[in-house]
Amino acid sequence: MPIPSSPTSVEANFHTDPVTDKLEALARTVYTSGALNNHFYELWTSGRLTPRQIAVFARNYGEFNRAFPEVLAVMISSTRNVCAQAEYAKTLYSEMGYGNPGKVHSVLFDSWLVELGERLGIGQGFKWIEIEREVNVLPETYALIEGEKRLYGGDNAAGAGAQLALEWQAYTMLRKLYDGAALYKPLWDAEDAFHESCEYFYAHIGATEKEHKVESLQAARQFATSESSLKRVEEGFNEHLQMFEDFWNAIAREINSTRPH
């Protein structure tokens, strides 16, 4: 993915300073990282997977999806910086469907999965309760979730760096996930019906993730107040990206292990 040469309209809406510029330069390194350039995305976007392979992805990504609001809550409760709390609360409120249970992001993802399963001819086989029963969570998925809780619940600067990494890779992550989902569009009788099923993806690749990028940048700025704290932001950022790279590559390995012989 080409690195944007100028801020988006959302990013341009707030005043920057030299430290914010450094943080944004750090944030933009996500585009060349293994968190976004890995074996899973290659598999997911290059061709259709079998139902079992999709279930491996769904189980592990779904587990992360469900845990993320809990992780954000840890982050909010671990700091008394009101400005940072406000930015994290905005992100959490969005993740929870702005107060509408039917629009909670994990619920939207589950809805897309169920519809995909029906069109693949496995009935309700992609209902979360079925996937949860049939597919085990990978160690790298638990490592990502627990690592996030540790980062977000510890040093505020490192936690802010972790959140910066997450939100700046999230738009491309969701765009790539949507690119793979679009390979199954011919299974829907009507193209409009397919797009109606994809609300989970559209909720992210519209304004939401752009806003989250700004929120994470503004929150990180609250804690980057010295050379040492800026270094801790960078350390949290890089550690989080590495956990994502490990997470996606582990899913890819598991998917490859289920290929028909």
pLDDT tens, 53-93? 999 999 999 999 999 899 888 888 888 888 878 877 888 88
Residue 53, domain extent? 19-256
Of 2-16, 86-100, 207-221, give the lowest mean pLDDT range.
Answer: 2-16
- Domain assignment present for residue 11? The answer is no
Of 18-32, 53-67, 216-230, give the lowest mean pLDDT range.
Answer: 216-230
What are the contacts of 121-127 at 24+ separation with CB within 8 A? 122/51, 125/51, 125/55, 126/51, 126/54, 126/55, 126/58
Mean per-residue pLDDT, 104-109? 92
Number of structural domains found in the chain: 1
- Domain assignment present for residue 8? The answer is no
Quote the pTM value.
Answer: 0.88
CATH code for the domain of 151: 1.20.910.10
- Domain assignment present for residue 14? The answer is no
Mean per-residue pLDDT, 229-246? 95
- Domain assignment present for residue 190? The answer is yes
- Domain assignment present for residue 50? The answer is yes
- Domain assignment present for residue 229? The answer is yes
Question: Cβ(209)–Cβ(170) under 8 Å?
Answer: yes
